[in-house]
Amino acid sequence: MSTYHPLVDHGFTRRTVLQSLSAGFGWLALAGLAQGGTRHHRARARSIIFCFMDGGPSHVDTFDPKPMLKEHEGKPIGESAVSNLSQSSANRVWLGCPWEFRQRGESGLWVSDLFPRIAQVADELCVVRSMTGELPLHGQQNLLLHTGRILGQAPSMGAWINYGLGTENENLPGYVVLNNDWVPNGGLENFGSSYLPASHQASMIRANGVPLDNIVPALETPQQRRLLELIGQQDRAFAASVSQPAAIEGAIANYETAFRMQSTIPELIDIGREPRRIHELYGVDSTDEHQRAYALQAIRARRLVEAGVRFVEMTCPSFDGNNSPWDQHGQLKDNHEKNARITEQSVAALIIDLKQRGLLDETIVVWAGEMGRTPHTPQVTAGCGRDHHVNGYSLFLAGGGFRGGMAYGETDDFGNSVVKDKVDIHDIHATILHQLGIDHERLTFRHGGRDHRLTDVHGRVLHELIA
């Protein structure tokens, strides 16, 4: 059997295990057997927190200092700098960084003044400055970042990891998205399971309003248990009559997970018992409602991985509700500062908090948008901005065995294109899976007549990033 699953190494398949179980829900028991997964090699990490910076933060204003931009500000970029992987033309002009870059920590990693809190944890950051994408479009790049495909129609990274490793806590979903009332371009497919069983898609928890719909039982627990058993019997009978029972098995698993979540999720996402110093560290007491919401979700992210959730993604709130949060085609300085104020304290606090608890070594923190921003603009004005750019941009990883206080790869003197150690998202996916103990070429699922994987036919492990 070419399809990889933790149970395959023990001589089982989903079908044989499901059919051999006579009590309870088959898929639930199978998930229990898969608990902890079977890795291909020793893992350095067991969970991921993905801080998704929707819209594309500017690399030349955050982690990739380019003093030549300020020196040549207002001068035309010329034909040689034009690329179809950014919004560019020869008559556009270079735009310098509005913030000062400084070397931070013992490592001397360059971080701009836009991120004063993140600068304080510079020695934990593994910055990749040589990221490249495929299309300068939000929807396609979001899907590429999340699923490895610009067209989507494939499982998200969180779903793949949930599928490959199984759950560490049967009372919780393996994949959670902490949403801030914002669905990114590309839609919910960014968080879906596609052709993987539905039990591997994300559970969404909101920052505002009711965190999770239908989590409070409408019936007394024994009565609800009997109802679920009846539904399970009917679903198992139906699954036995079809040739592809995975969708039905996934539904059974979701019913069971939801039942168990009723007793665990409300307490887990309630941060009221967290000490005052933790609220202050993350910024829960901020006067900005968006920062408060993001801080709440960041604390929840730590609590979730602490409780055994494999993959947690935090979306960032849109302060104006109209565009992708970091998508500053105009008002670059004002709006990047708003986004930084909303998110960066909580991201830094998350790294600090995980380290203090001894969890950073086994938790990968990923900070990434789907693209960067052009180092040029149509015209230098007080309210100008930067446009879409996938020729070269930055992201960072922390914890989980990644080297701290380092920058990998280079863009040219203007931050316009990669000139050294080119990286694409497949390489990042492969390296993250490697740190989780998974060979990205062996984590596969048979669908449509062939074996599929997160990295498709691409990807290499970036051993240079690993401590």
Prediction pTM value: 0.87
Amino acid at 282: Y
Rounded CA-CA distance 313/352 in Å is 18
Residues 205-217 have pLDDT tens digits of: 999 888 887 666 5
Position 229 scores a pLDDT of 75
Rounded CA-CA distance 93/464 in Å is 35
Position 231 scores a pLDDT of 72
Q: Considering the domain boundaries, does residue 334 fall inside one?
A: yes
Q: Considering the domain boundaries, does residue 447 fall inside one?
A: yes
Q: Considering the domain boundaries, does residue 48 fall inside one?
A: yes
Q: Supply the range of the domain harboring residue 429.
A: 34-216+269-465
Q: Considering the domain boundaries, does residue 16 fall inside one?
A: no
Lowest mean pLDDT among 33-47, 111-125, 130-144, 330-344: 33-47
Lowest mean pLDDT among 16-30, 179-193, 195-209, 250-264: 16-30
Q: Considering the domain boundaries, does residue 20 fall inside one?
A: no
How many domains does one find in the chain?
A: 1
Provide long-range contacts, Cβ within 8 A and 24+ apart, for 214-219: 214/258, 215/258, 215/261, 215/262, 215/265, 215/266, 216/262, 216/266, 217/262
Q: Considering the domain boundaries, does residue 443 fall inside one?
A: yes
At 47, which CATH number? 3.40.720.10
Q: Considering the domain boundaries, does residue 431 fall inside one?
A: yes
Q: What is the DSSP string of 304-364?
A: HHHTT-SEEEEEPPPSSSSS-TT--SB-HHHHHHHHHHHHHHHHHHHHHHHHHTT-GGGEE
CB of 111 within 8 A of CB of 63?
yes
Q: Considering the domain boundaries, does residue 310 fall inside one?
A: yes
The three-class DSSP label of residue 34 is coil
280: its two tokens:
């202050």
- Mean of the per-residue pLDDT values for the chain? 88
Q: Using the predicted structure, report yes or no on whether residue 343 has a pLDDT greater than 50.
A: yes
